[in-house]
């Protein structure tokens, strides 16, 4: 067993850490307030190769492994959770399914613009009446000549308002339930595709979270990913990968919350001494640091399972997403508690971290869904 990062992973970590501290940190509080999509930084990250981390170089990517991707997402999210998930969605929810399930033409067409930052990606799965229960989706794609006619509404789509390339799921045969769902690549300028409600979110506010509306949208047949009916498995397989990145995002947010609490506790005095000297505060620090380390190891292990080529790592990915999300929410809560009343104001970073953390337990499968995935694997 080797716990050392490889020299490539270490180099990437140093590079992303530096970039996050110099370029993302100054704008993170601003975009949290304005909810402005951080295009300028996205373009800079494209130049660093962070938009196609696992994509082979021949399609414009950086050809790193999945542990590296998790390391990058942690470092970005430590400073800006919005940017962290924007990058995660582009990498693991958009480039990944195209890379894994697309044919050569699709990879050549869609991966280079997603890696170069010319276009950002999004994942059109959730609907107003179908979140955890994917099979309850109502969107349909009817074959007609050389295209499919897509109808339906997708809701809560991260990057939705700014994305140029979407991986979208719809029924091609509703009677077949999960075996009747198909996956498509949809381009933003397709006639019949419009944007609906922009969500005013509690946290990760700069993520252009938006509704997608498809009304008789003609999708060329060559945009079908895999075969008709492969959609559910493409979706689940993709989420197995992307949940590792949400685990990494959670570790980044939690680490930031701990760092802020330590810093504050050394400055803030009560009863004649810095509050970091008090055992109740120290107890919280010990718990927070231990939980963060455990979560990080679960994230790395899930990434390692993917890199090793394990055919199924749903349990490992769900465990890291579930655990890291829940400790991130708890660590952010404790950090705010340590900050006292000041932590409840917008003058302190922890207020943003506390709001950003909550989404971790909701998106890319709620914590309850992760427990279902883990328990089903244990009892199969």
From the list 222, 260, 364, 368, the catalytic residue is: 364
Residue 135 C-beta: closest distance to ligand CAA, Å: 5
Residue 89 C-beta: closest distance to ligand CAA, Å: 5
CA-to-CA dists, residue 289 to 141, 201, 250, 292, angstroms: 48, 29, 13, 5
Q: Is 140 in the site for ligand CAA (CB under 6 A)?
A: no
Residue 158 C-beta: closest distance to ligand CAA, Å: 4
Contact letters for ligand CAA, residues 286-315 (x by CB under 6 A): ----------------------------x-
Contact predicate 187/235, CB 8 Å: no
Residue 170 C-beta: closest distance to ligand CAA, Å: 15
Q: Is 195 in the site for ligand CAA (CB under 6 A)?
A: no
The smaller minimum CB distance to ligand CAA, of residues 126 and 217, is found at 126
Residue 293 C-beta: closest distance to ligand CAA, Å: 25
- CA-wise closest residue to 197 among 280, 300, 291, 128: 128
d(CA 61, CA 115): 6
Helices assigned H by DSSP within the chain: 7-19, 28-34, 39-47, 66-79, 81-88, 96-101, 104-116, 231-267, 279-308, 314-339, 349-358, 367-378
| Residue of 178, 197, 358, 371 interacting with ligand CAA (CB under 6 A) | 178
Contact predicate 111/146, CB 8 Å: no
Structure tokens at 110: 């869609």
| Residue of 21, 33, 40, 135 interacting with ligand CAA (CB under 6 A) | 135
Structure tokens at 68: 């590296």
Q: Which residues contact 41 (CB under 8 A, 6 or more apart)?
A: 23, 24, 27, 83
| Residue of 12, 98, 364, 374 interacting with ligand CAA (CB under 6 A) | 364
Residue 205 C-beta: closest distance to ligand CAA, Å: 14
The smaller minimum CB distance to ligand CAA, of residues 123 and 148, is found at 123
Contact predicate 293/3, CB 8 Å: no
Stretch that binds ligand CAA, among 58-66, 73-81, 98-106, 361-369 (CB under 6 A): 361-369
CA angle 351, 155, 326 (to 5 degrees): 40
Q: Is 230 in the site for ligand CAA (CB under 6 A)?
A: no
Q: Is 364 among the catalytic positions?
A: yes
- CA-wise closest residue to 65 among 289, 261, 328, 307: 307
Q: Is 125 in the site for ligand CAA (CB under 6 A)?
A: yes
The smaller minimum CB distance to ligand CAA, of residues 93 and 206, is found at 93
Interacting positions 24-83 with ligand CAA (CB under 6 A): none
CA-to-CA dists, residue 94 to 47, 113, 128, 164, 351, angstroms: 18, 12, 21, 11, 31
Contact predicate 90/161, CB 8 Å: no
Q: Is 373 in the site for ligand CAA (CB under 6 A)?
A: yes
Size of the site for ligand CAA (CB under 6 A): 24
| Residue of 32, 127, 199, 240 interacting with ligand CAA (CB under 6 A) | 240
Report the residue count for the chain: 380
| Residue of 12, 20, 51, 134 interacting with ligand CAA (CB under 6 A) | 134
Output Rg (C-alpha) for the chain, integer angstroms: 21
| Binding stretches for ligand CAA (CB under 6 A) | 85, 89, 93, 123, 125-126, 132, 134-135, 158, 178, 232-233, 236-237, 239-240, 314, 363-365, 369, 372-373
Residues taking part in catalysis = 364
């Amino acid at each position: 067993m080797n716990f050392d990062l490889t020299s490539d992973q270490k180099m990437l970590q140093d590079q992303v850490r530096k970039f996050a501290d110099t370029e993302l940190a100054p704008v993170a509080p601003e975009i949290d307030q304005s909810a402005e999509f951080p295009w300028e930084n996205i373009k800079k990250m494209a130049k660093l190769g962070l938009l196609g981390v696992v994509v082979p170089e021949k399609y414009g990517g950086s050809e790193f492994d999945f542990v590296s991707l998790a390391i990058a997402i942690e470092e970005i999210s430590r400073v800006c959770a919005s940017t962290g998930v924007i990058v995660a969605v582009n990498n693991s929810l958009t480039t990944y399914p195209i890379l894994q399930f697309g044919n050569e033409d699709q990879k050549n067409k869609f991966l280079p613009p997603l890696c170069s930052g010319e276009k950002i990606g999004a994942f059109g799965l959730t609907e107003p009446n179908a979140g955890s229960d994917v099979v309850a989706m109502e969107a349909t794609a009817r074959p007609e000549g050389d295209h499919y006619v897509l109808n339906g509404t997708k809701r809560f789509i991260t990057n939705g308002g700014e994305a140029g390339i979407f991986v979208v799921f719809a029924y091609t045969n509703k009677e077949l339930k999960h075996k009747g769902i198909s996956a498509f690549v949809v381009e933003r300028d397709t006639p019949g595709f419009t944007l609906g409600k922009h969500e005013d979110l509690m946290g990760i506010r700069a993520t252009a979270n938006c509704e997608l509306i498809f009304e008789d949208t003609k999708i060329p047949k060559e945009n079908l990913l895999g075969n008709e009916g492969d959609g559910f498995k493409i979706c689940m397989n993709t989420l197995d990968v992307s949940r590792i990145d949400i685990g990494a995002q959670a570790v980044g947010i939690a680490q930031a919350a701990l760092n802020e609490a330590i810093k504050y506790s050394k400055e803030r005095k009560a009863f004649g001494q810095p509050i970091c000297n008090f055992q109740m505060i120290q107890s919280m620090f010990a718990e927070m640091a231990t939980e963060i380390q455990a979560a990080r190891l679960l994230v790395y292990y899930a990434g390692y399972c993917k890199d090793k080529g394990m055919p199924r790592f749903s349990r490992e990915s769900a465990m890291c997403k579930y655990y890291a999300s829940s400790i991130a929410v708890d660590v952010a809560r404790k950090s705010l508690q340590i900050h006292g009343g000041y932590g409840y104001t917008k003058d302190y970073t922890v207020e943003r971290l506390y709001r950003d953390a909550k989404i971790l337990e909701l998106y890319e499968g709620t914590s309850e869904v992760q427990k279902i995935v883990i328990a089903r694997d244990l009892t199969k």
